[in-house]
Amino acid sequence: MRHSYRYLFALAVLLAFTACSKHSRVDERLSETISISSGGVTKALLGANGIDADGTRLQVYDYLSNFSGTIMVNGVEKTYETTEKALYFSDVIDYPGGAGAWTYESGNSYRWTRTGSHTFFGWLLDDAGQTGLNAESFFGTGQPSFNTTTQTLSVPATTLTASGDQFDFLYAPAMTRSAGDPNYTATVPLRFRHLFTAVKIAIQNVSDNTVMVNSVRSEYLRNTKAADINFETGAVTYTSQAASNFIPAFSQATLAKNDPAFNLWDGYRILWPQTQSEIEDARLVVNYYLENDKIDDVYVEHESIINLRDVKIEGSNITGLEAGKAYSLTLQFKNGSLDLYVTVLPWYYSSFDLDYSDQTISALSGDNHDGVLWLYSGDGTEGNGSTRTVRMHNSQEEITGSFYIASPHNGKWSVTLYPAEAAKYFELEPSSGIITKDMILSGGKVEFKVTASTLVPAVTQTVHFNVSIYMGNDWHDANSEFNRKDWKLVREP
């Protein structure tokens, strides 16, 4: 009997130890929760609003790999093996407005694991700048569809016209964070890309004749396509379905010599990207009359065909219409000819993988240690709207500002102070310049100096640095791409 009591006692101790060990098991997760942002670098092709806008919604996935263990994910126990690449979470995040962080619509929170790797990707569901238009209403209910096995997003065949709905669809290829990385638990900035290209068309007359344009149409321009986006590789496979007229009808446009250009529509319109082989047979057909060309008092109708393969951009033959670029096409009537000129909208950064701290104007003074701060916060992020201060003790002290602009070649950049009255107290040098090829090849960095006016003994001024680019006979505001903060300049006596 004594031996039986011993065995029962030993068994009780073992069970108690096992239970205690189970409940005191080290949590396989860290205390830090996973925070995701848009990266702050992509602006919609069709509007001035950035992606960080009240009402924007993104679908986000996180796949976990190189991890073994059993953990609780929002009340559900999940077991992972080292060889697996398994779904950690799928959720929708939205931007609440102001300078708030992106939040999960489910109300859940997700914690970083102590070991392993997290791979994130996502796509745009709702664009705050497109009221009543989202991915489902644009592509169809349940679309685009995601294959969890291949991690591929299928975008259905869709016909795009200049007069149809305009939804600038964005997607973010996979980016991976691994335990042990210096920034492992920092906010994950998804880098979004454009699925479509964008175009606008204008008609200009520099001939001695008054021109009456009846119609412009596109032929063999593939405006119906489908796409498969592989998030792991970032590759997009486009499948052409059909070609139809992309350009809407318009009433006759009458242009005297040097009249303002006639735009076939306002702004830019999305179009499926066109490969070089597709451009080979694509063309624009223009029907028009000339005021002094009549037979028996009846205007003679003319038709001109412009093959896109013959168009040149900066001296080189066009190689297609690329996703993420916006093309401005100008049909120009000259004496005896009709020519097509193409320029590219500046807001295209794929040539340079810029960190968002590099896209923010940064400034510091030389030897001054009085409250000198960068324009962006220490972790390189933006958005809290706080004011940064730089002090200058005399008119000879300089503040160095810098930003990066990668395109367009031969475009003109300009940086100014806002409000305008700040120019009474502070000067920028240089305040403008040309984007040269050498500048682009060297990384696109622009530096300027800020100095205090010698005529003002002391002043404190809150300013914005506004950056603009001149291209296509117009200034384009780049400020939303660069600096979003107030910046306080203090000139001390």
pTM for this prediction: 0.68
Asked if residue 135 is part of any domain, the answer here is: no
The pLDDT of residue 480 is above 50? no
pLDDT tens per residue, range 165-176: 999 899 999 999
Asked if residue 35 is part of any domain, the answer here is: yes
Nearest to 326 by CA among 281, 271, 277: 271
Look at residues 193, 208, 231 and tell me which one is the last residue of a structural domain.
193
Task: Please indicate, yes or no, whether residues 327 and 431 belong to a single structural domain of this protein.
Answer: no
In the prediction, which pLDDT does 210 show? 94
- Read off the pLDDT band of 452 (50, 70, 90): confident
Asked if residue 11 is part of any domain, the answer here is: no
The rounded Cα 131 to chain-centroid distance in angstroms is 19
Give the CATH number for residue 339: 2.60.40
Task: Please indicate, yes or no, whether residues 187 and 205 belong to a single structural domain of this protein.
Answer: no
* Omega within 30 of 0 (cis) for the link into 182: no
Asked if residue 287 is part of any domain, the answer here is: yes
The pLDDT of residue 264 is above 90? yes
Task: Please indicate, yes or no, whether residues 366 and 295 belong to a single structural domain of this protein.
Answer: no
Asked if residue 136 is part of any domain, the answer here is: no
d(C-alpha 136, C-alpha 125), whole Å: 8
Task: Please indicate, yes or no, whether residues 336 and 371 belong to a single structural domain of this protein.
Answer: no
Q: Is the dihedral of CA 465, 94, 127, 271 positive or negative?
A: positive
d(C-alpha 250, C-alpha 162), whole Å: 12
Q: Is 49 exposed, middle or buried (0-12, 13-18, 19+ CB in 10 A)?
A: middle
Q: Which domain holds residue 112?
A: 29-130+168-193
Q: How many CB atoms lie within 10 A of CB 331?
A: 23
Asked if residue 145 is part of any domain, the answer here is: no
Q: What is the DSSP track for 280-331?
A: TT-EEEEEEEETT-EETTEEPPEEEEEEGGG-EETTEE---B-TT-EEEEEE
Look at residues 288, 312, 344 and tell me which one is the last residue of a structural domain.
344
Q: How many CB atoms lie within 10 A of CB 295?
A: 7
Q: How many CB atoms lie within 10 A of CB 134?
A: 15
- Read off the pLDDT band of 182 (50, 70, 90): confident
- Read off the pLDDT band of 381 (50, 70, 90): very low
Q: Is the dihedral of CA 264, 270, 276, 277 positive or negative?
A: negative
More confidently predicted of 41 and 324? 324
The structure tokens 């404190």 sit at: 460
In the prediction, which pLDDT does 118 show? 94
Task: Please indicate, yes or no, whether residues 79 and 50 belong to a single structural domain of this protein.
Answer: yes
What does the block give as tokens for 97?
């407005």
Task: Please indicate, yes or no, whether residues 314 and 379 belong to a single structural domain of this protein.
Answer: no
Q: Which of 134-148, 272-286, 295-309, 341-355 has the lowest mean pLDDT?
A: 341-355
Average pLDDT, the chain: 76
In the prediction, which pLDDT does 380 show? 33
Task: Please indicate, yes or no, whether residues 374 and 298 belong to a single structural domain of this protein.
Answer: no
Ramachandran quadrant class, 98 (left: phi over 0; alpha: psi -120 to 50; beta: rest): left
- Read off the pLDDT band of 385 (50, 70, 90): very low
In the prediction, which pLDDT does 318 show? 85
Task: Please indicate, yes or no, whether residues 227 and 212 belong to a single structural domain of this protein.
Answer: yes
More confidently predicted of 455 and 175? 175
Give the CATH number for residue 382: 2.60.40.10
Task: Please indicate, yes or no, whether residues 182 and 222 belong to a single structural domain of this protein.
Answer: no
Which residues have a Cβ under 8 Å from the Cβ of 38 and sit 6 or more positions away?
51, 52, 56, 58, 95, 102, 189, 190, 192
In the prediction, which pLDDT does 211 show? 94
The tally of domains found in the chain comes to 3
Which residues have a Cβ under 8 Å from the Cβ of 73 and sit 6 or more positions away?
88, 89, 110
The pLDDT of residue 126 is above 80? yes
Look at residues 309, 344, 379 and tell me which one is the last residue of a structural domain.
344
Q: Which of 4-8, 110-114, 254-258 has the lowest mean pLDDT?
A: 4-8
Which residues have a Cβ under 8 Å from the Cβ of 173 and sit 6 or more positions away?
121, 191, 193, 231, 232, 233, 234
Nearest to 158 by CA among 140, 146, 170: 140
Task: Please indicate, yes or no, whether residues 111 and 218 belong to a single structural domain of this protein.
Answer: no
Asked if residue 221 is part of any domain, the answer here is: yes
Q: Is 309 exposed, middle or buried (0-12, 13-18, 19+ CB in 10 A)?
A: middle
- Read off the pLDDT band of 106 (50, 70, 90): very high
Task: Please indicate, yes or no, whether residues 57 and 182 belong to a single structural domain of this protein.
Answer: yes
| Amino acid type, 124 | L
Asked if residue 7 is part of any domain, the answer here is: no
Task: Please indicate, yes or no, whether residues 185 and 67 belong to a single structural domain of this protein.
Answer: yes
